[in-house]
Amino acid sequence: MVRRFAEYTRPSGAWPGLSGMEGSISMKGHKDTIYKTVYQYNQIPLSAADIERLQEIARDCRQVKNYVYDRYSGIRSLSKLHPGYTIQNEMTKSGLREKLGLPSVYFYLSVFDALGDIKSQWTRTKSRVGQNIRNNPNLSPEDRHYLRFVMKQSQCFESVLMGGEPKLVGVWKERYADVQKDVDTHRLNQYLRRQVRRCRNKPHTDAADGFLASPKGYRYADHGIYLSMKESRRRLFIPLTDNNRYSCQIYVRLYPEKRGLTLNVPIEVKQRHPAGYSGEMGLAMGLKCMFVTNRGRAYGEKYLEYQSALTDYVQKRLPRHQRNAKNNPGMKKYNAGKARLEEAMHNYVNEEINRMLDTEKPGVVYLPKLPPKSKAGFNRKVNATVNMWQKGFVKSRLLQKCRERSIELVEVFGKGISIQCSRCGADGVKEKDVFRCPSCGIEMPERQNTAKNVLKRGCALREDGVVENKL
């Protein structure tokens, strides 16, 4: 089994969450084009009054998002989520924008940002429900087939959650008749509703550290940027450290304690095609060491030090500030310290991935699909470190760096890959980071053996024609 990293378009509200030096998304229909996030900074500290004016906009945007969450994240609003213009019209008539005095360029971006979060929440809910369906031994194959059909067909899914009978037409009506004829639909519909109630979380945000802005909400000039304010026909001028100008949706992130801000700007760039990148490479990914190649070379050997430092910081300091956290001035200091440690770790991740790719120069990289986090069977400190392991960030940075260099990244099925001998295929044993095979007598570092198996599985699938030649 092989899974490719698919091209996708990141929703507008995802820009604030990007970490590290740069973020990326792929662009549909333009395989040689990617997006990178660049940052612009204020040249001089902002005044306390200007920071407060910007924070007021951020708080208003937060209120708009929570209003949308409360009103449209429920089952009865499922039909309104796509494409979302019905909700836009209802929000216009709600009078909330006039009440807040929020410019429309910020108001509607917040509305659609919240709608993107709600859609993502429903996607996660369906994923959790689907996993529970697969793991339920009391369900027959016919039961699972029926439940998967209902979850896939949006109109059917909504009708079942509302307690009604699906009203389908055409080919969908015929397919529904086929999947329901051998199952107890009443029992399965009740089961599905229970699962959705258990797995669904209502979105909410307390963050008011920034806001989205469209090109209508700002203007570059005078070696800075003019941002629209709540006052009619008034814009706030902010000098910038560079004179670059962009025309796209940006995210304004505020740092009140520093009296500053950053502008997160997604820019379109072409992929590089550097010479000398060829061959195939298998990787083993871990917490102690970021990557080990099939040749036994290690990259990111100090990653655990950065991760442990962050874990220790959170464990020691967070309990002090959890009580009355909103009004606790110590939370600002805690968040600032945590951000510094995360930034240091993210910089190290970027540096080591760059070093690995520039050294190895692969044309194709194979990566095992990692299991979900598990913290059973370890001591408290190790459990916390594993739980905070940012493997998703590491993998996303690897994907970004590979796409920048036109390297193909393929994720292969990883079950049993660490205990299988890379030479003979028999099961071996692991002792103190060393793999031993009782069948052929091979002995090598555990991670290198895993990386060899990753490469072996990837190459075998490619030879069978399972993997396409181009990402």
| pLDDT tens track for 72-81 | 999 999 989 9
Strands (E), 199-259: 210-213, 218-221, 224-228, 235-239, 250-255
Q: Is 16 helix (H, G, I), strand (E, B) or coil?
A: helix
More confident residue, 90 or 464: 90
**Cβ neighbours of residue 172 closer than 8 Å, sequence gap 6 or more:** 153, 155, 156
Query: What pLDDT score does 350 carry?
Result: 94
More confident residue, 403 or 271: 403
Give the β-pairing of 298-299 and 260-270: unpaired
Query: For residues 451 and 126, what is the distance between their CA atoms, to the nearest angstrom?
Result: 33
Q: List the beta bridge partners of residue 250.
A: 213
Question: In the predicted model, is pLDDT for residue 11 greater than 80?
Answer: no
Cβ atoms of 331 and 325 within 8 Å: the answer is yes
Strands (E), 104-217: 210-213
**Cβ neighbours of residue 305 closer than 8 Å, sequence gap 6 or more:** none
Give CA 326 to chain center in angstroms: 26
> Within 13 Å and on the Cβ side, how many CA atoms surround 366?
27
Put simply, whether the predicted model's pTM sits higher than 0.85 gets the answer no
Question: In the predicted model, is pLDDT for residue 306 greater than 70?
Answer: yes
Phi, psi of 306 (to 5 degrees): -65, -45
- Residue 366 — very low, low, confident or very high, per pLDDT cuts 50/70/90? very high
Strands (E), 28-176: 30-41
**Cβ neighbours of residue 161 closer than 8 Å, sequence gap 6 or more:** 75, 78, 192, 193, 196
Query: For residues 88 and 52, what is the distance between their CA atoms, to the nearest angstrom?
Result: 28
Question: In the predicted model, is pLDDT for residue 224 greater than 50?
Answer: yes
Give the β-pairing of 298-299 and 434-436: unpaired
The structural domains of the chain, with segments of one domain joined by +, span 38-270, 280-303+348-463
Give the rounded percent of residues in the chain with a pLDDT score beyond 90.
Answer: 60
**DSSP character string of 306-340:** HHHHHHHHHHHHHHHHSTTGGG-THHHHHHHHHHH
Question: In the predicted model, is pLDDT for residue 203 greater than 60?
Answer: yes
Query: What pLDDT score does 9 carry?
Result: 31
pLDDT, averaged across the chain:
85
Chain position carrying tokens 């470190």? 385
- Residue 450 — very low, low, confident or very high, per pLDDT cuts 50/70/90? very high
- Residue 338 — very low, low, confident or very high, per pLDDT cuts 50/70/90? confident
Mean per-residue pLDDT, 325-343:
76
Closest to 356 measured CA to CA, from 298, 302, 284, 279: 298
Query: What pLDDT score does 320 carry?
Result: 64
Mean per-residue pLDDT, 66-73:
96
In tens, the pLDDT along 248-281 reads 999 999 999 889 999 999 988 777 788 889 999 9
DSSP 80: G
Cβ atoms of 467 and 458 within 8 Å: the answer is yes
In tens, the pLDDT along 103-155 reads 999 999 999 999 999 999 999 999 999 999 999 999 999 999 999 999 999 88
Question: In the predicted model, is pLDDT for residue 62 greater than 70?
Answer: yes
The vertex-341 CA angle with 336 and 346, nearest 5°, equals 120
Q: Is 219 helix (H, G, I), strand (E, B) or coil?
A: strand
Q: Which helix (H) or strand (E) element contains residue 350?
A: helix 330-360
Query: For residues 209 and 228, what is the distance between their CA atoms, to the nearest angstrom?
Result: 17
Cβ atoms of 137 and 58 within 8 Å: the answer is no
Question: In the predicted model, is pLDDT for residue 19 greater than 60?
Answer: no
Q: Would you identify the CATH topology of the domain 280-303+348-463? A: Nucleotidyltransferase; domain 5 (3.30.420)
List the structure tokens of 353.
């991935």
Give the rounded percent of residues in the chain with a pLDDT score beyond 70.
Answer: 85
Question: In the predicted model, is pLDDT for residue 415 greater than 60?
Answer: yes
Query: For residues 208 and 59, what is the distance between their CA atoms, to the nearest angstrom?
Result: 5
Chain position carrying tokens 């540096």? 351
Query: What pLDDT score does 17 carry?
Result: 37
Lowest-confidence pick of 6-10, 169-173, 407-411, 431-435: 6-10
- Residue 228 — very low, low, confident or very high, per pLDDT cuts 50/70/90? very high
Integer-rounded Cα Rg, in Å, for the chain is 25
Residue type, 232: S
Query: What pLDDT score does 383 carry?
Result: 59
Phi, psi of 163 (to 5 degrees): 85, 15
Query: What pLDDT score does 433 carry?
Result: 87
Residue type, 197: R
More confident residue, 417 or 57: 57
Question: In the predicted model, is pLDDT for residue 41 greater than 90?
Answer: yes
Question: In the predicted model, is pLDDT for residue 463 greater than 90?
Answer: no
Cβ atoms of 291 and 283 within 8 Å: the answer is yes
Query: For residues 324 and 201, what is the distance between their CA atoms, to the nearest angstrom?
Result: 23
Q: Is 343 helix (H, G, I), strand (E, B) or coil?
A: helix
Query: What pLDDT score does 465 carry?
Result: 63
Query: What pLDDT score does 79 carry?
Result: 87
